[in-house]
Amino acid sequence: DETFTQWVDADVMGFYFSAGSLPILRQFAEEYRVRQTATGCEFTWTVGIRMRWWAQPAGRIMRAVLRHKAKKGFPILEGLVRA
């Protein structure tokens, strides 16, 4: 179940999952913000994860995977936006 908590066209989008297909997650939330700058824009991505008690040790691994994916994916996203 996905619920949008914020939506401002071209500025902010926030949502959370209260149920999903991954049994290790209790809740998952994301927020995307775009802020205009003098030379273009700045993109901020915030993620909140609440894992089940028995899966919490895997949280550090999950955080590292998300960071790696973001570092790899954001330059691709930037290229697509500039095209």
pLDDT in tens, 35-49: 989 988 888 989 888
Distance (Å, whole) CA 70 – CA 32: 13
Using a 10 angstrom Cβ sphere, with 0-12 exposed, 13-18 middle and 19 or more buried, the burial of residue 76 is: exposed
pLDDT in tens, 17-41: 877 777 888 888 999 999 989 988 8
